[in-house]
C-alpha cells in the first residue's frame, strides 16, 4: 500500500533536514529510493538537495511533475520530493498516481507563501496526505514559535502585491510568529 507523507512549515524550520533524514534511512535499508527537486530551486547545486546545515543527497532536477514518471518503475519503493511548492499543473494527480502504485512518497515544502496564503499545490497535498509533519521555526522578532515566512524588501515588510522578482532591491526572508508577521493588503 502506498503512502503520502508531507513535511511542511516556514523557511528555516528544517524541512529539508527532515526529508534528508527520512530518505537517508531508506538508503541505509537498501530500499530503492529516488529523489527529485524542481530545477527552479537555486539553492541546490546540480542534482543534489542540500539542507541549510550542509548535508546533501543526490537528486534528479525536474522542470515539471510529469518528468518524475520517466524515472519511476516497478522497482522504485520510495520517492522523495523537495521544495514541492514549486511544482505546478497536474502535480497532485501525478503524486497520487505514484502513491496508488504502492510507493512511499515523501514531500517537503513551504505550506504558506509570503502573503500568508496556502502555497501552490501544498494545501491539497496536505488534505490527501496520510501523515503530516508541520515544523515551526523561531520568530526573528520575539522568539516565539514561528509558522510564517516574512518577506522583507530592503529590510521592510513586503506588500501583498509586490512582484515575486524585484530587480535592484534586496529581497530577504525570515521566520516570524503570527503576531509579528506583517503584510499590507492594498
Ligand atoms: Zn514574534
Residue with cell 503570527: 178
Distance from C-alpha of 17 to C-alpha of 99, rounded to nearest angstrom: 23
Q: Report the separation in Å between the CA atom of 117 and the middle of ligand 1, taken as the mean of its atom positions.
A: 18
Residue 182: what pLDDT?
96
Task: Please work out, in degrees rounded to the nearest 5, the angle formed at the alpha carbon of residue 133 by the alpha carbons of 152 and 6.
Answer: 85
Q: Report the separation in Å between the CA atom of 174 and the middle of ligand 1, taken as the mean of its atom positions.
A: 11
Catalytic residue, candidates 17, 83, 124, 174? 83
Q: Report the separation in Å between the CA atom of 109 and the middle of ligand 1, taken as the mean of its atom positions.
A: 22
Residues in the chain: 186
Residue 46: what pLDDT?
61
> 165: helix, coil or strand?
coil
Contact predicate 160/34, CB 8 Å: no
Helix (H) or strand (E) holding 186: none
Contact predicate 98/62, CB 8 Å: no
Residue 25: what pLDDT?
94
CA distances from residue 142 to 69, 129, 139, 179 in whole angstroms, order as listed: 44, 32, 6, 9
> 129: helix, coil or strand?
coil
| Chunked mean pLDDT (size 10), the chain, 186 residues | 97 94 94 91 62 77 94 97 93 98 97 95 98 98 97 94 79 95 85
Residue 163: what pLDDT?
83
Contact predicate 50/26, CB 8 Å: no
Contact predicate 65/90, CB 8 Å: yes
The yes-or-no answer on residue 83 being catalytic is: yes
Q: Report the separation in Å between the CA atom of 149 and the middle of ligand 1, taken as the mean of its atom positions.
A: 11
Q: Report the separation in Å between the CA atom of 94 and the middle of ligand 1, taken as the mean of its atom positions.
A: 37
| Rg, the chain, Cα only | 17
Instruction: Give me the torsion for CA of 8, 10, 16, 17, rounded to 10°.
Output: -100
Amino acid at each position: 500500500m502506498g503512502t503520502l507523507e508531507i513535511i511542511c512549515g516556514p523557511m528555516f524550520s528544517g524541512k529539508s533536514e527532515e526529508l534528508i533524514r527520512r530518505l537517508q534511512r531508506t538508503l541505509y535499508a537498501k530500499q530503492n529510493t529516488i529523489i527529485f527537486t524542481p530545477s527552479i530551486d537555486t539553492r541546490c547545486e546540480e542534482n543534489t538537495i542540500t539542507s541549510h546545515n550542509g548535508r546533501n543527497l543526490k537528486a534528479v532536477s525536474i522542470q515539471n511533475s510529469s518528468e518524475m514518471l520517466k524515472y519511476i518503475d516497478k522497482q522504485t519503493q520510495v520517492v522523495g520530493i523537495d521544495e514541492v511548492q514549486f511544482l505546478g499543473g497536474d502535480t497532485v494527480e501525478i503524486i497520487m498516481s505514484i502513491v496508488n502504485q504502492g510507493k512511499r512518497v515523501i514531500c517537503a515544502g513551504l505550506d504558506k507563501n509570503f502573503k500568508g496564503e496556502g502555497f501552490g499545490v501544498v494545501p491539497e497535498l496536505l488534505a490527501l496526505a496520510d501523515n503530516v509533519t508541520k515544523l515551526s521555526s523561531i520568530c526573528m522578532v520575539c522568539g516565539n514559535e514561528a509558522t510564517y515566512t516574512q518577506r522583507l524588501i530592503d529590510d521592510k515588510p513586503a506588500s501583498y502585491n509586490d512582484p515575486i522578482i524585484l530587480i535592484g532591491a534586496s529581497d530577504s526572508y525570515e521566520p516570524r510568529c503570527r503576531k509579528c508577521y506583517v503584510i499590507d493588503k492594498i
